[in-house]
Homo-oligomer: A and B are copies of this chain.
Amino acid sequence: MQITLETLRAIVGPAHVLTGDDVHSRRVDWMTGAPCQAGAIVRPADTEQVAAVMRACHAVQQPIVTHGGLTGLVHGAEASPDELVISLERLTAIEEIDQVGGTLTVQAGAPLQRVQEAAKEVGLQFPLDLGARGSCTIGGNIATNAGGVRVIRYGMMRQQVLGLEAVMADGRVVSSMNHMLKNNAGFDLKQLFIGSEGTLGIVTRAVLRLQPPTPCEQTAMVACPSFEALTGLLSHMGKALGGGLGAFEVMWQNHYRLLTETLGRHTPPIATEHPFYVIIDSLGSDAKRNATQFSEALESALESELIVDAVIAQSSTQRDGLWAIREDIEGLVKGLAPVLTFDVSLPIADMQRYTNALEAQLTQRWADAKLVVFGHLGDGNLHISVSVGSGDPEVRREVEAMIYQPLAALGGSVSAEHGIGLEKRPWLSTCRSSAEIELMHTLKQALDPLNLLNRGKVLQETL
């Protein structure tokens, strides 16, 4: 490292500069358990200390990697021995909640779930939700523009952020802590830092938008007889529930069957012979009205043969049971080990052709290949899991090519919600033109000319 531990200790105190085993015992990738290789980890107490660390790093050209909850899936938090990790784990305060304005001001290291709970305590909600809610942080959610299961209703993290504060590569603090829903006074600077994976600045605080509560939740699992019926159902439920459609999570038969019948991890609530299964949430404020509207919408879907079977959860236990199948990532990983996982988006209309062609290609190459597909259909987002008996890098690259290359012609994306990090960097040009990538480099050069911030993530170091 270019920076000395003494310099860091002088800024944050000796207890907050970690080295050796305290660094290596941290896992930067929860799928592989890979240890952190950074030269040191520094834990600033607040924005001022983050800025002071960054000024010191800038002075000696010390590259840094910012750490949040380490729940990312694309190796965006990896660090080499010559890199310093700045962990925001001490910046966890929820600073202010404005009930009338519906805003929550928070430090970047606060876990998502704490923000959800704090909003609930004042009778509002913070709607972003994903499986890692207990450990992922608001700063990480911002840096990766997190998605999750409520995007169809509330949008991604980008839509939840009203303002933020960031420390730039030279240690300057840009505080853009807007609380207004509408603010067209100049360029919307926060957009630079949302979804750029820590490469343009370190997000230290944010103002989040809260939403009115939707205390009444109806959940059903349904079976669809065909892909046409599935897309028809999405359109039907969108219309029938008005603004109330809160989730539309599809499981291909290969996913549903694996986690119920094959592995026996869940009792199938509906027989396993149908091609598609959907978990549908309806969010409302009036229990009776919500229930009536929901069951009427499902009945008319049955009548028009968009669905062939349906189970409506009658209790929160039943609801959790239905969602448990969809959220059983552990079962998926175990059942398909060694599993290769992917997160892509593509036009909904092309999805069936795409997954069929992929399966054919996989099984032609590896006779016992397994493909499992689920995802946020309404968002055009599929999570694809593949098992071909090996997790070797060259095998993975071959599977990546099968999955990513067809997306170019479809106008899809190699990353719907996980980001690029290191893992998808070689594939960025599959879905971004050279003009786009050039403009990304222009931004990186303008904001981080010494290339100190999360070096080599998202973009190659040189064009």
Residues of A within 8 A of B (CB): 98, 100-101, 144-145, 147, 151, 153, 155-156, 158-159, 168, 172-189, 191-192, 194-196, 200, 212-214, 231, 235, 238-244, 283-286, 289-290, 292-293, 345-349, 376, 378-381, 411-420, 424, 428, 431-433, 435-437, 439-440, 442-443, 445-447, 458-459
User: Smallest CB-CB separation from A145: which chain B residue?
Assistant: B184
B residues less than 8 Å from A145 (CB atoms): 184, 188
B183 touches A242 (CB 8 A): no
User: Smallest CB-CB separation from A215: which chain B residue?
Assistant: B239
Partner of A413, one of B178, B192, B378, B419: B178
A-B contact pairs, 13 of them (CB 8 A): A101-B347, A145-B184, A151-B182, A155-B155, A173-B435, A180-B412, A181-B378, A183-B415, A183-B416, A184-B413, A186-B440, A186-B459, A289-B289
B residues less than 8 Å from A414 (CB atoms): 185
User: Smallest CB-CB separation from A231: which chain B residue?
Assistant: B100
**Nearest chain B CB to A374 CB, angstrom units:** 15
**Complex CA distance for A244 and B243, rounded to whole angstroms:** 6
B443 touches A187 (CB 8 A): yes
User: Smallest CB-CB separation from A158: which chain B residue?
Assistant: B188
Give the interface centre of A175, A179, A412, A417 by most chain B CB atoms within 10 Å. A179
A411 touches B179 (CB 8 A): yes
**Nearest chain B CB to A180 CB, angstrom units:** 4
Give the interface centre of A191, A241, A243, A381 by most chain B CB atoms within 10 Å. A243
B residues less than 8 Å from A285 (CB atoms): 239-242
B residues less than 8 Å from A144 (CB atoms): 184
Given A181-B379, A185-B415, output 8 extra A-B contacts at Cβ < 8 Å: A100-B235, A151-B181, A182-B345, A185-B420, A186-B437, A187-B439, A187-B443, A289-B293
Partner of A156, one of B182, B418, B446: B182
Partner of A381, one of B182, B214, B239, B439: B182
B413 touches A185 (CB 8 A): yes
B residues less than 8 Å from A346 (CB atoms): 180
**Complex CA distance for A419 and B188, rounded to whole angstroms:** 11
**9 closest residue pairs by CB, A with B:** A243-B243, A191-B191, A446-B446, A212-B238, A182-B416, A180-B345, A183-B413, A100-B349, A181-B379
